[in-house]
Amino acid sequence: MADTLPDDIIQAIAINNAKSISDQPSVLSNLALANQVLNNNMQQQLMINQQQAMNQITMATLSKCVAVITNADASDPKSLADYLAVLKSLNKGADEMLDNLTNIKKAGSEVEEKKEEIAKKAAEFNRVYKKSKKLMKPAAKPKADD
């Protein structure tokens, strides 16, 4: 008899093990949700960095255009050619910026879709967790026979 544990201790261990197993989906869903949130955060930071780089390119292009325009001399054909070249490059740069803006908007909509997907998964995991909690209510303690 010294080798066996009392029945109430065995039952407590079994209940604790069952509770640990029932909590596992919740822990895994929290881990998946944290991973998804981290990925979305990193994607948003990347989009902000790209937007900042585009803003810096725009500022440099604009300052170059202003310099060319202010230095343009109608009597000098070379300065007029420079002026036209800058205007052409500015037009090309504007087209590229529009393309980049379109890509940023597209990435933003993808982030919104991911957020909705995360919300659906979290709701599903919470539903499963609540259902498993209901199923794992502690069993009634056995009555001790006298």
Dihedrals phi, psi of 22, to nearest 5 degrees? -70, -25
Structure tokens at 110: 């993808």
How many CB atoms sit inside 10 A of residue 86's CB? 19
Decide: residue 68, CB within 10 A, 0-12 exposed, 13-18 middle, 19+ buried. middle
pTM of structure? 0.42
Output the tens digit of pLDDT for each of the chain's 146 residues. Answer: 457 888 888 888 888 888 877 778 888 888 888 888 898 888 889 889 888 988 888 888 888 878 777 776 667 667 677 777 877 877 787 788 778 778 877 877 777 787 788 778 777 877 777 777 676 665 555 555 54
